[in-house]
Structure 1
Amino acid sequence: MTRDTTRRAVLASVLAAGTAGLAASDAADLLDSFAPISGEAWDAADRSVPETVESPYGAASVSRDEFGVPQIEADAEPAAYFAVGYCQAFDRLFAMDLQRRAMRGRLSEVVGEATLDSDEFNVAMGFSDAAEATWEVVAETRAGPLVEAFADGVNAATEDLPLPLEFELIGYEPEPWTPVDSMLMEKQISWTLTGSFSELRRALVADRLGAERAETLFPKRYDHDETILDGTETRLGEARESVRPAGERASSGRRSGSVAPADPALTDWLSGFESPTGVGSNSWVVSGEHTESGVPIVAYDPHLSLQAPPLWYEQSVETPERSVRGATFSGVPFVIAGANDRGTWSFTNLGADVLDCYTYEIDDGGDRYRYDGEWRSFELDERETIPVAGGEDRELRVRRTVHGPLIEREGQRVGVAWTGHTATRTTVAIEAYGRSQGIDDLLEATRDFDLPTQNLVYADADGRTLYYATGRLPIRRTDGEVVAGDRVFDGSEGEGEWRGFEPFGESSWDGFVPFEEKPHAIDPDALSTANQRPIDDPIHYVGVDYAPPYRGERIAERLDDAVDGSDAEADDATDPDFHHALQSDVRDGRAPELVPELVAAVRDLPDPAVSLVDVADALDEWDYRMARDSRAALVFARYLPHFRERVFRPAFSDADLGETYYPSDWTLARLPDDDPLFDGRSRGDLAVAALRDALDEIDEAGWEMYGDYNTTRAMSHPVGGEAPFLNYEELPADGSPATVKNYRVESAVGSSWRMVVRPGTDATAVLPGGNSGDYFSEHYDDQLRRWLDNDQRPMPLGDDGEPVVRFEPSTEGSR
């Protein structure tokens, strides 16, 4: 049967069974929110775009390549972005609406009580108010009218076309899209990348385990040499700000960072809304000195949540002002990571500390907080109602201080300051990237890129290359002295404040690192980023939450071998195939640190079972590659969590700290035999016991190879538990949390987009699924197998495909 026929048959069986056909749910508590399935669902099976669409912005045309990527052409930019909005709504309307509802705290309105925690957090954080403040700024820029045209295009498609299937399944209709909603998507992306309450967890660990043990188990600086920069690129002056470490006395005699840790229940609750575990990315650039063509090459794969449909949406826009193609997020008009006819740009997470937490003295009535030596009313104090489908509406008290939102739960409170709470101009920067004609334009636009903090990697057709840290980096002061942000501050005493910061308003740059003093490199020869610390000795404090260097070391090692000619097969000139192969690298750097001791421990047993010896021999011969057809990779993947449990659980359980507080695998591999965690137990004995645990688990599950366990089952649709047919096919996958080809089956995080670009010439890319979110489209999952194999397809500019939709000026005239 054809794909379309098969999918219609699936829907037919569901319709015949009604909601009973969805009863085999992994999330049965959400099932009650589903509307009775009706014949109206067939409308979604026949969704198609008309050949002509009226546009108030003028003429445009849309063609589609063989993977369903819309290629929009127009003589006027607003006309083009009206068409972009129309296309995104056709392909991704449900994803757009779902994310908008999540950020506004209105999921429970259509889903029910199961999402109340999420709604309470998002309402309390005030993301929608921050988006409003951002739109007030963006509306007055060149990007503003294009965002408005995009919103009009979304709404035109919503009115013209049948709604996607998910709206019928859940039983509601989306509200009109607004420019503020697109700004809200910027906030959502930024929160995903920078939202961290790590200082709360750090304070709790120090309180439970002791400051010295906490510093040992959770070092603020991993001991390695694989920084992004070698330090010479940012030496722009002799003056450097001295940052006082936590615990040293301020000039007033007060001990900084000495406030009591936040309530454990509040800390755990807030941690549930942070960035998904493992969010990160890879990117690298090699100058034309080391490529066969003499043109630089940029390779990029961001590691974000994997789901159906993918987070990223691919599009191409051709106007007299721009020729740009690449990936954006549903609801965002402009290409975020991609290429135009002159350059290419990509982003990885900087790991910067851009969120601070504050405690306050609050009066007995709970109506005022102490600040600057006096009692103050809260900057905002009002009641918000959260609608709940099928249940009682929830009322939430929303309060804010001079620093930002006050998050409250069951009588516990913490204040939050986050750079995303102010008006930001990143939309302005991204719009300008698409029109940039080289490194100078790109640098000027990057001055407006104030959220989120990222590692920007760029190259242009003139052979120029660039690395720059983007975003606002706060400079914190207590009693006039600069302090690090890796602690909880006393908000009533004014500790750790950012000058010029106006939550839910427009901030100045007075309290943030100047653009020229951020880590950067102009025309690097070869440079890679993998979320490791950017530089050993930065001019200003950046942060402490960096990834272990496994990916960074592997990328740097292979690039060094290639560009230095030390690789026997390299000739100091790389081509796109080399970079595709590096993106596909699955060597896990944790294995050579942990496997030899395991093998030795088995062989040291007085009378080991034959099965253990066989496994040890296989591990000893293993190449440490997390390949889907590897038995040894399966054993290592399941051994490691059991080893963590056996090493960390006793001490952490005694301290009432769960597995989410366990140290990293980098720390685990370096714990000496006499570390107090072992408490008389030997590493070898624990390793053998963990191996037995893993083999029992593997035998019980019936897994034979790594790909039996490491599958695409994690890449589910948001309502795939209730409607399993919306999920992608379950297929074996390569990669692990520590490999360049990144995939984390436990957390559904991994390479969410891959591209390799030679600026001004050719580019390739692939999505983990398909460009369409329409279940009935042939492009719903047509790139899934390509993504698994990193089989990238061309990403051309200005493709001359036959238009499938023409946008014609409306009879009322163009705007």
Structure 2
Amino acid sequence: MDSRDTPIGNRSISLSRRDLVSAILAGGLAGGVLSPVSGYLRGFAPLSGTVWGAAGDDRIRSLSSPYGAATVRFDEEGVPHVDAGSEPAAYYAVGYTQAADRLFQLDLQRRVMRGRLSEVVGPDTLESDKFNVRMGYLDAARANWTRLRDEPVGEAVAAFADGVNARIDDGPLPMEFGLLDYEPDPWTPVDTMLMEKQISWGLTGSFRTLRLALLEDQFGPDVVEELYPSRIPHDAPILRAEGGSSPGRTVVSRSADATTVGRSSGALSGLSIGEVSRLSRFESPPGVGSNSWVVSGDHTDSGQPIVANDPHLDLSVPPLWYEQHVETPDASVRGVTFPGVPFVIIGANHAGAWGFTNAGADVIDFYTYEVDDDGDRYRYRGVWREFDRKRRQIPVDGDQDRTIEVKRTVHGPMIDREGRSVAVAWTGLAATRTTMAVFEYARSDGLEEFLEATRRFDLPTQCLVYADRDGRTLFQVTGKVPIRRTDGEPVRGDRVFDGSAGEGEWDGFEPYGQPTWDGFVPFEEMPAEIDPPYLGTANQRVIDDDRYPHYFAASYADGYRGRRVWDLLDERVEGGPPVDREFLRSMQLDVRDYRFDDADFLVPALTDAEAPDRLENVGETLFEWDGRMDRDSRGALLFAAWVDAYREVVFEPLFSDLDLGEAYYPGDWTLLNAGPESTLFEERERAELARSAMERALEGIDGDSPRFEGADRYGEATHTGVMTHPFGIDALGYPSHETDGSPRTLMNFRPGRPAGSSWRMICEPGGDCEAILPGGNSGNYFSPHYDDQLRRWADGEYKPMNRELQGTLRFRFISDAGGGDDE
């Protein structure tokens, strides 16, 4: 199918697969691999009857399984309830069921990570494919599978892959395959390992160090530290000094002989601003964050602890999470996972409940080298070494296939273009065991077993909250964090290292191999607290630097949400009635934006003698406003439009001369806390810029802003209609519903490339749980569960999330015999 003429309404458009270019240049992120595609798949919409007819099949089927008998029932929310006599039998059924609901999503994600988009899309996705092939995610996934295949988790992963392939063989394929005119390859266990790499890169893969190194060359280190502070001052870290830890486990404190070499700038020889900007398109998306909190039974109305979690990730069609319930003799677990991963990642089992937020740990480094004139060798510790070179082919639809050279050093892959290069070390490029940890979570029988499983949660670094039915609570930072060493001394990781000199080495790390992790922060020294009375996380600073002996991160979230979490919890626990689920719902739906507090100069600037009457009226509206980003609020609309405009007028002159766009702009904390003495206002007056930004904001509202045009209240600029199908076909996107919240409120919503609460969950271990998805559990357009949760999500409603086997029988698996395929 190279092209076709398709009537849509009264139009006829000529369509080609080579029109289907993709924006997935970030490598398939955990924030939603589907959403970046939309801008490039628009216009390819041959809605033929054959294609539409391939979607959905609700027949009850009896199917054979080589792993044993199982049943799958679907409840009124489209959630599958899998019941089986063994875990392999259960996860074969899970594979079949995930593929029935989300097969195109599975295939698109693994194509990104394998570097195989161009095979079905054409040459426009070559940059994405080249980057992902050079990074070697597939080799790292193979190392994972080598590590896990002979473990109990390996049999479950292999069974899942066989289940996916059984669904592919049964057909019919989802309509997206008909539109693109290709059939998916068989799913393999390595593809599931790739999903772990995809998720982890989306949460920890950052080129921030490269950007800051370039900016230091332009502005100097003092200005860069002012604009991108390594430590945002606030009094709301996750582990507060007065909190302490319970007996049996303590937060590590800095010892007298624990030294860390201070931050220093390394030379970024070879890479230009343009090259770094290009690489930045492949990193984790901006604004990825989450909320979570745990409250012990000492402070709840039921006497049982409560866990709440709402990860803030890209909002896509279908959602990036998939909800499932799995019941076996060894486990009873319900929650959400990423399609392609067999096991519940966030959820609850018979003994406990758990959730995650991103910890922000720095687990990636960059190295430059002295290279010989021919470019064949690099110097390392005084010795010339040959690059590890391989030739890899990238298939290209409708064009010549491409062959690229992949080069690697002792530290990791070289990512280069036009002779400019830098090597990358990232913890996810070695064999990791996170899939094993998540598998064991479902079977854990309380805090001690759950904590033991967490030792194997190597990547990504996450802030884990947990509570069990016995009343125990837990906060634990997961993952492997390197201790960089230069000449035997620990150094910070927020610089580019001289790889030839052996700077910033990671002991115990082997790219694409089986690492020992000897030179990494020991599990016992990761930030943690056992049995906290209550604790909240929102991607803020984990612990004060002077209480921790290791370099942990170069940056965190700006603290607006973290401060709000602590304020709400402290007020309720210290002076209010016992905490209940209704209160925790109100926290997840809270829309108070603390940025307005930091913008305390705005209203005076709008109401002083120099302000025009129109601005004075706006100032009076904001003076009366309560700082809440409610959909019906005029003040919220004005403030949101002003922040966007103020960001432009403050940062645009500074960065436009360097041909740098918004991706380089500092965060909102810097923007709103930069005082009159700041470098940003050396030649400009802050109050005048604030007024100018409001004039620009009002002009946008009056008619020239793609987001705010014609809006009279905030909800008209914040709605779910921005959540589109990858093909960009309006009919396949989600309906438009107004919602509340901003990127800096607990009820989180970011328009544009939409992001926000990708799953809301509140759970009492061993008791009642409730949750909601931003869309529906099915990716099949004709399913009643395509978007049936969307309106409730937008309005802050929840649905029950129990672990009872329920619903309509759809699949019955009958025991058979057979095998599987690894690769």
TM-score range, shorter chain: over 0.9
- Identify the match of residue 139 of structure 1 among 149, 153, 172: 149
Is the 1:35–1:171 contact (alpha carbons within 8 Å) kept by the matching residues of 2? no
Q: How does 1:500-649 map to 2 (within 5 A)?
A: 500-536=508-544, 537-565=547-575, 570-571=576-577, 573-594=578-599, 596-606=600-610, 608-609=612-613, 611-649=614-652
- Identify the match of residue 242 of structure 1 among 259, 274, 283: 259
Give the secondary structure class of the aligned counterpart of 2:353: strand
Give the secondary structure class of the aligned counterpart of 1:729: coil
Q: CA deviation at 1:54?
A: 1.0
The aligned residue for residue 6 of structure 1 is none
Most deviating of 236-245 and 424-433: 236-245
Give the direction of change, closer, same or farther, for the CA distance of 1:814–1:752 in structure 2 (3 Å limit): closer
Q: Write the distance in 1 (CA, Å) between the matches of 2:257 and 2:100.
A: 52
Q: Write the distance in 2 (CA, Å) between the matches of 1:813 and 1:405.
A: 35
Is the 2:158–2:820 contact (alpha carbons within 8 Å) kept by the matching residues of 1? no
Q: Write the distance in 1 (CA, Å) between the matches of 2:610 and 2:467.
A: 59
Q: How does 1:99-248 map to 2 (within 5 A)?
A: 99-231=109-241, 232-233=244-245, 234-235=251-252, 238=255, 241-247=258-264
Is the 1:81–1:149 contact (alpha carbons within 8 Å) kept by the matching residues of 2? yes
- Identify the match of residue 392 of structure 2 among 384, 390, 396: 384
Q: Write the distance in 1 (CA, Å) between the matches of 2:610 and 2:287.
A: 40
Give the secondary structure class of the aligned counterpart of 1:782: coil
Give the direction of change, closer, same or farther, for the CA distance of 1:608–1:46 in structure 2 (3 Å limit): closer
Q: CA deviation at 1:798?
A: 2.4
Give the direction of change, closer, same or farther, for the CA distance of 1:204–1:607 in structure 2 (3 Å limit): closer
- Count of matched residue pairs: 786
Q: Write the distance in 1 (CA, Å) between the matches of 2:458 and 2:190.
A: 18
The aligned residue for residue 281 of structure 2 is 272
Is the 1:35–1:170 contact (alpha carbons within 8 Å) kept by the matching residues of 2? no
Q: Write the distance in 2 (CA, Å) between the matches of 1:509 and 1:532.
A: 26
Q: Are 1:663 and 2:672 counterparts?
A: no
Give the secondary structure class of the aligned counterpart of 2:202: helix
Q: Write the distance in 2 (CA, Å) between the matches of 1:126 and 1:197.
A: 17
Q: Write the distance in 1 (CA, Å) between the matches of 2:454 and 2:59.
A: 36
Q: Are 1:323 and 2:332 counterparts?
A: yes
TM-score by length of 2: 0.92
Is the 2:299–2:579 contact (alpha carbons within 8 Å) kept by the matching residues of 1? yes
The aligned residue for residue 349 of structure 2 is 340
Listed one character per residue, the Cα deviations across residues 728-747 of structure 1 (whole Å, up to 9, x for unaligned) are 11222211110001111023
Give the direction of change, closer, same or farther, for the CA distance of 1:73–1:602 in structure 2 (3 Å limit): same
- Identify the match of residue 430 of structure 2 among 422, 426, 429: 422
Listed one character per residue, the Cα deviations across residues 329-380 of structure 1 (whole Å, up to 9, x for unaligned) are 00000000000011011111000000000001111111111112111111x3
Q: Write the distance in 1 (CA, Å) between the matches of 2:737 and 2:270.
A: 44
Give the secondary structure class of the aligned counterpart of 1:492: coil
The aligned residue for residue 432 of structure 1 is 440
- Identify the match of residue 758 of structure 1 among 758, 764, 768: 764
Q: CA deviation at 1:318?
A: 0.4
Q: Which amino acid aligns with 1:525?
A: P
Q: CA deviation at 1:307?
A: 0.3
The aligned residue for residue 674 of structure 1 is 677
Q: Are 1:716 and 2:724 counterparts?
A: yes
Q: CA deviation at 1:679?
A: 3.0
Q: CA deviation at 1:40?
A: 2.5
Give the direction of change, closer, same or farther, for the CA distance of 1:336–1:394 in structure 2 (3 Å limit): same
Q: CA deviation at 1:259?
A: 5.0
Q: CA deviation at 1:67?
A: 0.5
Give the direction of change, closer, same or farther, for the CA distance of 1:21–1:200 in structure 2 (3 Å limit): closer
Q: Are 1:775 and 2:781 counterparts?
A: yes
Q: CA deviation at 1:13?
A: 7.6
Q: Are 1:460 and 2:468 counterparts?
A: yes
- Identify the match of residue 704 of structure 1 among 700, 712, 731: 712
Q: Are 1:61 and 2:64 counterparts?
A: no
Q: Write the distance in 1 (CA, Å) between the matches of 2:274 and 2:819.
A: 58
The aligned residue for residue 485 of structure 1 is 493
Q: Write the distance in 2 (CA, Å) between the matches of 1:342 and 1:44.
A: 41
Give the percent of matched residue pairs that are identical in Structure 1 and Structure 2: 55
Q: How does 1:732-743 map to 2 (within 5 A)?
A: 732-743=738-749
Q: Write the distance in 2 (CA, Å) between the matches of 1:390 and 1:124.
A: 23
Q: Are 1:281 and 2:281 counterparts?
A: no
Most deviating of 525-534 and 108-117: 108-117
Q: Write the distance in 1 (CA, Å) between the matches of 2:685 and 2:820.
A: 76
The aligned residue for residue 25 of structure 2 is none
Q: How does 1:772-811 map to 2 (within 5 A)?
A: 772-810=778-816
Is the 1:461–1:760 contact (alpha carbons within 8 Å) kept by the matching residues of 2? yes
Q: Write the distance in 1 (CA, Å) between the matches of 2:615 and 2:15.
A: 45
Structure 2 gap ranges (5+):
1-5, 23-37, 246-250, 704-708
- Identify the match of residue 696 of structure 2 among 690, 693, 706: 693
The aligned residue for residue 735 of structure 2 is 729
Q: Write the distance in 1 (CA, Å) between the matches of 2:615 and 2:64.
A: 70
- Identify the match of residue 652 of structure 1 among 646, 650, 655: 655
Most deviating of 17-26 and 147-156: 17-26
Q: Write the distance in 2 (CA, Å) between the matches of 1:46 and 1:348.
A: 34
Q: CA RMSD in A?
A: 2.3
Q: Write the distance in 1 (CA, Å) between the matches of 2:55 and 2:422.
A: 48
Give the secondary structure class of the aligned counterpart of 2:111: helix
Give the secondary structure class of the aligned counterpart of 1:544: coil
Q: Write the distance in 2 (CA, Å) between the matches of 1:409 and 1:693.
A: 39
Most deviating of 768-777 and 674-683: 674-683
Q: Which amino acid aligns with 2:344?
A: V
Q: CA deviation at 1:77?
A: 1.2
Q: CA deviation at 1:789?
A: 1.6
Q: Which amino acid aligns with 2:779?
A: G
Q: Write the distance in 2 (CA, Å) between the matches of 1:21 and 1:109.
A: 17
Q: Which amino acid aligns with 2:504?
A: G
Q: CA deviation at 1:644?
A: 1.4
Give the secondary structure class of the aligned counterpart of 1:803: strand
The aligned residue for residue 361 of structure 2 is 352
Give the direction of change, closer, same or farther, for the CA distance of 1:381–1:427 in structure 2 (3 Å limit): same
Structure 1 gap ranges (5+):
1-11, 248-255
Is the 1:43–1:162 contact (alpha carbons within 8 Å) kept by the matching residues of 2? no
Give the direction of change, closer, same or farther, for the CA distance of 1:431–1:29 in structure 2 (3 Å limit): closer
Q: CA deviation at 1:125?
A: 0.4
Q: Which amino acid aligns with 2:620?
A: D
Q: CA deviation at 1:804?
A: 2.4
Q: Write the distance in 2 (CA, Å) between the matches of 1:18 and 1:105.
A: 33
Q: How does 1:13-32 map to 2 (within 5 A)?
A: 30=40
Q: Write the distance in 2 (CA, Å) between the matches of 1:749 and 1:126.
A: 28
Most deviating of 773-782 and 205-214: 205-214
Is the 2:213–2:266 contact (alpha carbons within 8 Å) kept by the matching residues of 1? no
Q: Which amino acid aligns with 2:677?
A: D
Q: CA deviation at 1:600?
A: 1.1
Give the secondary structure class of the aligned counterpart of 2:681: coil
Q: CA deviation at 1:608?
A: 1.9
Q: Write the distance in 1 (CA, Å) between the matches of 2:356 and 2:371.
A: 41
Give the direction of change, closer, same or farther, for the CA distance of 1:174–1:359 in structure 2 (3 Å limit): same
Q: CA deviation at 1:57?
A: 1.1
Is the 1:14–1:21 contact (alpha carbons within 8 Å) kept by the matching residues of 2? no
Is the 1:33–1:112 contact (alpha carbons within 8 Å) kept by the matching residues of 2? no
Q: Write the distance in 2 (CA, Å) between the matches of 1:169 and 1:709.
A: 32
Q: Which amino acid aligns with 1:489?
A: F
